[in-house]
Each structure stands twice: as structure tokens, then as C-alpha cells.
Amino acid sequence: MELAIIAHDGKKAEMVNFLMQNFDKLKNNDVQIIATGTTGNFVEKTGLKVQKMLSGPRGGDAQIAARVAEGKTNMVFFFRDPLDRHPHEPDIAMLMRLCDVWNVPLATNPATASLLIDHLK
């Protein structure tokens, strides 16, 4: 199963903390993680293997959206910072729209991500 992870700058530490809390479940379920570039750099420090795309503002969100449309990505965790502006908002909206179009679970906060993680085998 492929999980895409993305976190805005103000949420990267929260994403890393979430992944560390769920490290064993991710490993035990053979979850393949892809991430936008900068988020991926943070995640690599946890010991989880991650395939990095471009950074979000440089096209990483669009790369992940394409994987959703191709049926490669099964779940997306995108910890968004709703209190900040983001120059790549059109790409973010596209990713969220494609998750809806292709019925791919999308968590935008740790509470929702926890519910999705709890339903892994």
C-alpha cells in the first residue's frame, strides 16, 4: 500500500511526531511512503524509508496528485496549515479534488490520519 505524506512547514514536526507514534504499524503493514521533498527530508530522519518527490511549491503536490489519478497512491496524509498562505494553493486544491474524484482517503490532520491508520491490518 502506498501512502503519500505532505506537511506544510508549520506542520512538519507534527507529521514526524505522528509517524513516530505509528512507526510499528506502518512497518508491520509494509506501507510504502512517498512524500514531497522537504517533508521527505524530515521523515527520513525517523528511520522510515521514503521516496521523495519535488518539494510542494516546485511541483511535488502535483506529482502526488498524478499518482492518485494513476491509482498508485492509496491514501494521502496532508497536514495543512490553514492559518498561513501558500503560493502553491492551486496544486493543493487539485490534489484534494483528485482524492475525491478517485475516492482516495485524505487526512488533513492527525485526528483523521489516526482513524485511517487504525484501519490498517
Q: Point out the residues that are catalytic.
A: 61
CA dist 39 and 5 (Å) reads 7
Contacts of 56 (CB under 8 A, 6+ apart): 6, 8, 36, 37, 38, 39, 86, 88, 91, 92
